[in-house]
Amino acid sequence: MSIRLGDLAPDFTAETTEGKINFHQWLGNSWGVLFSHPADFTPVCTTELGSVARLKPEFEKRNVKVIAISADPLDSHKKWIGDINETQNTTVNYPLIADPEFKVANLYGMVHPNIDKFTVRSVFIIGPDKKVKLMITYPASTGRNFNEILRVIDSLQLTANYSVATPSDWKQGEDVIITAAVKDEDIPAKFPKGHKRIKPYLRTTPQPNL
């Protein structure tokens, strides 16, 4: 199955380390981050799951639920969590989906077509409307940057509520771009903090929700 940005995230029921869930029901009105792993007891992924555990308060501040998935069974997940907690000096505090039959992996196109029983290392950000807002796939050798995932979420949440876009390397508190749909004459009412007109197509304003 091929998923594109803006598609409805496939719903599913699955066993996790925190019990059985229905994905859409579990998300509720929250944003979601679903990230996949090729297998348990893999070195790069061990560091990633520890990183997400440490960053969970940051995700919660943004009304984001995080959930991981691997094709290994539940017993394996639980043993792996012990290793993660020990080696990463943290406590895994979010669910891991057990997907031994690749049902969820196939729904989200996570199975590598040329390698038997190998799920790619993907990240999906899903909005409260249950639609896919972002997809990133990483090679096995490169650990994911979850601070970047948080930065993207900040941008997605901001641009969902205001007629703005975020420039390259933007971070919370920095100026944003006024979208082309906003006419010059409407800017003062929409953006009372003021704006800069760098080019007719490039107009910036202070972040409007601060």
Q: How far apart are CA 20 and CA 8, in angstroms?
A: 21
Task: Report how far residue 40's alpha carbon sits from residue 37's, in angstroms, rounded to the nearest whole number.
Answer: 7
CATH 3.40.30.10 residue ranges of the chain are 13-143
Q: What is the CATH number of domain 13-143?
A: 3.40.30.10
d(CA 13, CA 47): 27
> Is 107 a residue of the active site?
no
Quote the CA–CA distance of 207 and 178 in Å, as a whole number: 10
* Fold of the domain built from segment(s) 162-205: Antioxidant, Horf6; Chain A, domain 2 (3.30.1020)
Q: Quick one: pLDDT at residue 114?
A: 60
Question: Where in the chain are all domains bearing CATH 3.30.1020.10?
Answer: 162-205
pLDDT confidence of residue 111? 79
Query: Which among 45, 66, 150, 182 is annotated as catalytic?
Result: 45
Check residue 117 and give its pLDDT. 54
- Predicted structure pTM score: 0.94
Q: What's the chain's average pLDDT?
A: 94
